Amino acid sequence: MTASLLRTSPLGEREAEFAASGMDIREAGFRAMVNVRVDSASAAADAIGIALGVPLPVVPNTVCGGERAAVWLGPDEWLIYGADGDTPRITALATEALGPVSGSVLDLSANRTTIEISGARAREVLAKGCALDLHPRVFGEGHCAQTLIGKTQVLLWQYGNAPDYRILVRASFANYLADWLLDAAASGW
Amino acid sequence: MTANSERLPEGGRIDRTKPLRATVDGIEILGYRGDTVASAMLANGIRTVAPSLYRSRPRGILGAGNEEPNALVRVERRGSSPMLPATTVELTEGLPVHTLSGIGALEPNSEAKDLDTRFAHTDVLVVGGGPTGLAAALAASEGDARVLLLDDQPELGGALLRGTDAELLDWAGGAAELLRARPEVTVVSRCTAFGYYDENYLLAVERGETLDRQRLWKIRAHHVVLATGANERPIVFAGNDLPGVMLADATRAYVNRYAALPGSEAVIATTNDTAYEAALDLAAAGVSVRAIVDSRAEPPEDLAAMACQAGIEVLADCVVAEATGTDSVAAVRIVRFEQPRRTVRTIRADLLAVSGGWSPDVGLFSQSGGKLRWNETLAAFLPEHSRQRQHIAGAARGRYGFARCVADGRFAGVSAAESCGYPAPDSPLRPGISERATRVETEQRPVWIVPAETGKPAEWREHFVDLQRDATVADIARACGAGMRSPEHIKRYTTIGTGSDQGRTSGLTAVGVLAWLRGMGSPGALGTTSFRAPAVPVSFELLAGRDTGKLLDPVRTTPIHPAHRELGAEFENVGQWKRPWYYAREGEGMHEAVLRECAAARTGVAMMDASTLGKIDLIGPDAGEFLNRLYTNGFKKLAIGSARYGVMCGCDGMVFDDGVVLRLSENHYTLTTTTGGAAGVLDWFEEWLQTEWIELDVWATSVTEQWSTVAVVGPRSREVIGAIAPELAVSNAEFPFMTVRETVLGNGIPARIVRVSFSGELAYEVNVANWHGLAAWREIERAGAGFGITPYGTETMHVLRAEKGFPIVGQDTDGTVTPIDLGMDWIVSKRKDFIGKRSLSRPDTARADRKQLVGLLPDEHGTLIPEGSQLIGEHTPVTPEVAPVPMLGHVTSSYHSAALGRTFALALLRSGRERIGQTVRTPVGDRLVSATVTEPIFYDKEGARRDG
Amino acid sequence: MLLIECPWCGQREETEFRYGGQAHVDYPSAPAETGDTEWAEFLFYRDNPAGPFAERWMHAAGCRRWFNAVRDTRTNEFLGVYRIGEGQPA
Ligand SMILES: [Zn+2]
């Protein structure tokens, strides 16, 4: 039996509720997430970007890349995001590129799960509990932010123009956030 | 009265194609879409509302908006607020309305409403949809700035809706259309801004068409334009609270906007020009207007001529001294303004329309930190100085008249957009409108009070100042007599202005009366009372929004939660976490379940979900040095693959958190924190790394939820670990206490297994990726089945550790306890420095009589001392004569022990270590029980059990 | 609610931040040699001006960076923010 079949995701039991919500909303579980910390001005930062094929963005709250992406978390901190199963490769490439330079590469793939929410009402539903200005002039495709939705911390990331958002939330808060989003989506307002 | 008897045959902004029926106090009324409850009442001849709250005086409708103090109603509709002004409730089909005397009742089981919250951001926020606000919003949005316009009515137009000027109404309609067509403009009707806070943060309530729908707007605006208009003031005279006394502008609203007649024979009392419009509009609607009573000696000639043409007599230099009538106004007595105030005339009338001048609505401006200044000409407090990025425009700053409002609004809108980086192209308003001539207003002659001819002010109990509070000139005079001088003191002494109408019709009037009583010329020198949020009543449930029920606070669960539910666990709240408390089997209560779980851990094997512990990885060449500086003991020399327990103190030397540190490689440590302390510890690390020791090369990362942890505890735990991890050598020699091993479980899951013990028994913690937590739990359950493995909860965990005297930070400590107080001298390094070390030698921290952790054994073996119980000496008298009884400390943990066959406790006790062997007493229920002070360890003092 | 400018993330709501008290209170370089009075002052005594006050904030729900800010305690107005290690703006 392979270990990957034994995984459970925090919102695995909520699929039907998402489907019935009238919104384009779903859990994207088991995505690769590797935390990288390194001085952004160092050659190692560049080397990691080259090795991964996605530069580590230096503009705060932005994302570089496509299916494999580097998400800005702080001036010396990024989350490398990828498809399910990409974690070992990301970890190996980043660790090797970092070399003896001070920094850290840590697998955090199971730390958070991803909720994807798309479509015309997505922005409006998020605005019910997210204090960020999500207007396209301010927060568009390729923007990310660590912020609060309702009462939980999230990493919010607009990855498409539908608009499409990814909300990365710590596993233990995922059900709260799902409850919150479903309640907000069901509002008659 | 008959249905719709007082409805004008034509006109108004009501939709006559949409007739509606409703009831007021059981009486059926007819109305139309576009009516308020108040306008429909008047149209159906209902002019009297519920009597006043304190003096049961008959009352009528005074206003036509949220200034209304009298006409309060309860609407029997799902989700309605307990008390609403009838002047603000839109009439809908079948609405059952009950008039109220000033106090509503909360519904104890109010049904669910559709309440919503939304954050909004805008370049320019315009508050108010009258001519000023419309002009501002139009101008601001010409250059593509994002504009949000809030208006509290169902229809835009503001004061224009109360008039009949078709051209102006057309303009408003056109402006509204234009705004709605602009993609970056949002117009929100039925929306009242009620709070204005720092950094242009405003709160507003949007009402749905039905009473059960409300939305809270939380708005950040780069620039704000306040176009909040002005409120008309009443005049204080005898009997001014009788039904039939109405604000002059409100009478215009009723005849023009709602086509409802507020009376048939009217007298107008005014101090200024605006009431002439009301007089002419009433006359045009068929009301017999008997006279305009003008306080000014020489009213403007053009207005006087228009009145004359309409057949209305103008009584100049006169004021109303008294309205008389039993249940409503029947007659109005008019006197000369100048002394002696001889009676000029007494006129029969059922409507007395009053205008005591206008007060700009500066509530939001004032909330925002803006400063006000008295303007003698306009007899009003006007905005003088803004503290935030805002403009206040139009009537809200004393610019009256359509043309001036539009020009002022436009200027504000252009400046606001410019300040956001969106200069407006130079396109004037629709030709003709901005040039439209408006007569320049003439001076007013303020009248705050028309004194009675007899008696003293303290006796004038029919000169009303605050109708909702039933407060009169007599009340203000008594407040003055009691020594009150400032408006703030008067307000609190008399309660004037504290009603749900926020004193819109009484606030400045009270100051005017106070100025008169104190012999001062005008209210200017006295100032106003403070304006505070909320400017209109809002319910707590609206502010709570969706943060109720299961969304009140996040409920955190571990990936193993489904297994706990299947096992029938009772859950305990630990911070936001739901943790299994105990797992009761058929027929068991908590007590039996915990004894069974404890016995399993001490004699067989048991398992617990320990996933909630905080976890932090520290990576970097200075990680060991960093740990050395933060923990009281040393970690630099910890062997790779080994674990060590550590305690952290704050700078004050008090225990702050504890946990186990593992060294995974030369430069990589990982550590646990308490469940509640996880976020605080990471913050603490980052604080030192970022602000104080920036030279240290260490990276701290929270990995709390990357890992899920199952503790496997008990003499047979080694066998279970051996069964789940076939590749692992588990003998005591090969896997000794306080070491860590990486392995792969038999089912293919990678695991990090640590030999640590929080119970004194042989024990392991199996760490796997969070998404494997449930599978790991089930695997351990399966492998342990043959050994009778027993799941246990937090209660058993607490008992097991307490039997060993292991304190829990946050339960046995409270931020005033040092490691020395806990008896942990062994963990406090003498050689190295660490955070908090210096504080341990402060005179107070080094005192010998500090509270110290001790054990307690109750003399009665079955008696459980409640946690938190206070302790007193064995012979301390507890009679009331010698109170207060000196307390020696308190119980921090208390349990039944299966292993000891008795109860025991931990306590913080003054000079505790010196008292070992002595007796203390503590209340249990109504009795005092005795307990012996012991060392804080009760079980396996030699530590013989940890290797199994 | 305050709007606070994180030097990295820009303006965010106050709820995203943790307050850290007075800025530029250095940890004593040699605690063991610090007298009781001096140590107590380091632990417990802070300025409390009516006016501009240099203080520390941390963008707790965001990038988790500590930074300094000068806030006028009378009006709550932020006069400036600056990163750790940067000098206090004049
Ligand atoms: Zn930030």
Question: How close B219 comes to chain A (CA, Å)?
Answer: 9
B341 shares its domain with B228: no
Confidence of residue B440 (pLDDT cuts 50, 70, 90): low
Q: Are A131 and B554 a contacting pair at CB < 8 A?
A: no
Q: Are A172 and B697 a contacting pair at CB < 8 A?
A: no
Q: Are B837 and C43 a contacting pair at CB < 8 A?
A: no
Confidence of residue A36 (pLDDT cuts 50, 70, 90): very high
Last residue of a domain, one of A90, A107, A124: A107
- Between CA A54 and CA B533 the distance in angstroms is 50
Query: pLDDT, tens digit, for every residue of B26-48?
Result: 999 999 999 999 999 999 999 99
Last residue of a domain, one of A45, A74, A107: A107
pLDDT of residue B429: 52
Under 8 Å CB-to-CB from C9, ≥6 apart: which residues? Answer: A60, A61, A145, A146, C59, C62, C63
pLDDT of residue B426: 65
A52 shares its domain with A66: yes
Interstrand relation of B390-392 and C18-22 (parallel, antiparallel or unpaired)? unpaired
Confidence of residue B433 (pLDDT cuts 50, 70, 90): low
- Between CA B52 and CA B71 the distance in angstroms is 10
Of B701, B704, B770, the CB nearest to A104: B701
Query: pLDDT, tens digit, for every residue of B361-389?
Result: 999 999 999 999 999 999 999 999 999 99
C-alpha dist (Å) from residue B661 to B40, B621, B646, B737: 75, 16, 7, 14
pLDDT of residue B485: 93
Structure tokens at A171: 């596993």
B536 shares its domain with B601: no
For residue C44, is it within any domain? yes
Last residue of a domain, one of A107, A132, A154: A107
B309 shares its domain with B408: no
DSSP-assigned beta bridge partners for residue A80 = A34, A70
Please name the residue of chain A whose CA is at the shortest distance from the CA of residue C63. Answer: A74
Which chain B residues have a beta carbon less than 8 Å from that of C26?
A: 692
Q: Are C13 and A153 a contacting pair at CB < 8 A?
A: no
- Spell out which residues have Cβ within 5 A of ligand 1, the ion: C 6, 8-9, 59, 62-63
Q: Which residue has the higher pLDDT, B688 or B426?
A: B688
A46 shares its domain with A103: yes
B403 shares its domain with B329: no
Give the number of beta-carbon pairs within 8 Å between A and C. 35
Q: How far is the CA of C66 from the centre of ligand 1 (A)?
A: 9
Q: How far is the CA of B135 from the centre of ligand 1 (A)?
A: 38
Confidence of residue B427 (pLDDT cuts 50, 70, 90): low
pLDDT > 90 fraction of chain B, expressed in percent and rounded: 92
Sign of CA dihedral C36, C42, C44, C49: positive
Which helix (H) or strand (E) element contains residue A93? helix A87-98
Cβ contact B784:B714 at 8 Å: no
Which chain B residues have a beta carbon less than 8 Å from that of A48?
A: none
| Residue B518 scores a pLDDT above 50 | yes
Q: How far is the CA of C9 from the centre of ligand 1 (A)?
A: 4
Q: What is the mean pLDDT of chain B?
A: 95
Q: How far is the CA of C69 from the centre of ligand 1 (A)?
A: 13
- Chains in touch with A (3+ beta-carbon pairs under 8 Å) read B, C
Domain count, chain C: 1
Which chain A residues have a beta carbon less than 8 Å from that of C58?
A: none
Which chain A residues have a beta carbon less than 8 Å from that of B704?
A: 111, 170
The CATH number of the domain holding residue A39 is: 3.30.70.1520
Q: In terms of Cα–Cα distance, which of B626, B680, B701 is closest to A107?
A: B701
- Between CA C66 and CA C56 the distance in angstroms is 7
Of C9, C61, C64, the CB nearest to A148: C61
- Chains in touch with C (3+ beta-carbon pairs under 8 Å) read A, B
Q: What is the domain extent for residue B795?
A: 561-611+706-801
Which chain A residues have a beta carbon less than 8 Å from that of C9?
A: 60-61, 145-146
pLDDT of residue B120: 98
Please name the residue of chain C whose CA is at the shortest distance from the CA of residue A145. Answer: C62
Q: What is the domain extent for residue C42?
A: 3-26+37-83
Please name the residue of chain A whose CA is at the shortest distance from the CA of residue B209. Answer: A189
pLDDT of residue B685: 97
For residue B513, is it within any domain? yes
Please name the residue of chain C whose CA is at the shortest distance from the CA of residue B687. Answer: C66
For residue A84, is it within any domain? yes
- Angle between helix axes B131-141 and B402-419 (nearest 10 degrees) is 30
- Best C4, C14, C63 member to test A by mutation, with max A CBs in 10 Å, is C63
- Between CA B200 and CA B177 the distance in angstroms is 27
Q: What is the DSSP letter of B688?
A: I
- Between CA B710 and CA B274 the distance in angstroms is 79
Q: Is residue A58 less than 8 Å (CB to CB) from chain C? A: no
| Residue B948 scores a pLDDT above 90 | no
pLDDT of residue B431: 43
Q: Is residue A143 less than 8 Å (CB to CB) from chain C? A: no
Q: Are A74 and C65 a contacting pair at CB < 8 A?
A: yes
- Best C1, C5, C12 member to test A by mutation, with max A CBs in 10 Å, is C12
pLDDT of residue B252: 97
Q: Are C61 and A61 a contacting pair at CB < 8 A?
A: no
B179 shares its domain with B147: yes
- Best B682, B686, B838 member to test C by mutation, with max C CBs in 10 Å, is B838
Q: Which residues of chain C have pLDDT under 50?
A: none
| Residue B438 scores a pLDDT above 60 | no
Q: Are B198 and C3 a contacting pair at CB < 8 A?
A: yes
Q: What is the domain extent for residue A95?
A: 32-107
Q: Are B199 and C2 a contacting pair at CB < 8 A?
A: yes
Which chain A residues have a beta carbon less than 8 Å from that of B705?
A: 110-112, 170-172
B118 shares its domain with B56: no
The CATH number of the domain holding residue B91 is: 3.10.20.440
Domain count, chain A: 2
Domain count, chain B: 6
For residue C21, is it within any domain? yes
Query: pLDDT, tens digit, for every residue of B522-557?
Result: 899 999 888 999 999 999 989 999 999 999 999 999
Query: pLDDT, tens digit, for every residue of B462-516?
Result: 999 999 999 999 999 999 999 999 999 999 999 999 999 999 999 999 999 999 9
Q: What is the DSSP string of B332-366?
A: EEEEESSSS--EEEEEE-SEEEEE--EEE--HHHH
Q: Are C8 and A74 a contacting pair at CB < 8 A?
A: yes
Query: pLDDT, tens digit, for every residue of B97-155?
Result: 999 998 888 876 666 688 999 999 999 999 999 999 999 999 999 999 999 999 999 99
CB contacts under 8 A, A 146-185 vs B, are 150-152, 170-173, 175-176, 179-180, 183-184
Query: pLDDT, tens digit, for every residue of B275-308?
Result: 999 999 999 999 999 999 999 999 999 999 999 9
A54 shares its domain with A72: yes
B223 shares its domain with B364: yes
B5 shares its domain with B103: yes
The CATH number of the domain holding residue B899 is: 2.40.30.110
- Best C5, C16, C86 member to test A by mutation, with max A CBs in 10 Å, is C16
Q: Find the largest Cα–Cα distance for chain A.
A: 56
Give the number of beta-carbon pairs within 8 Å between A and B. 138
Q: Are A7 and B771 a contacting pair at CB < 8 A?
A: yes
Q: Are A147 and C64 a contacting pair at CB < 8 A?
A: no
- Best A1, A124, A156, A172 member to test B by mutation, with max B CBs in 10 Å, is A172
Q: Is residue A145 less than 8 Å (CB to CB) from chain B? A: no
Which chain A residues have a beta carbon less than 8 Å from that of B621?
A: 102
A84 shares its domain with A133: no
- Between CA B664 and CA A89 the distance in angstroms is 21
Question: How close A173 comes to chain C (CA, Å)?
Answer: 14
For residue C56, is it within any domain? yes
Which chain C residues have a beta carbon less than 8 Å from that of A131?
A: 12-13, 15
Q: Are C63 and A153 a contacting pair at CB < 8 A?
A: no
Query: pLDDT, tens digit, for every residue of B793-841?
Result: 999 999 999 999 999 999 999 999 999 999 999 999 999 999 999 999 9
Q: How far is the CA of B145 from the centre of ligand 1 (A)?
A: 27
Arithmetic mean of pLDDT, A35-52: 97
For residue C89, is it within any domain? no
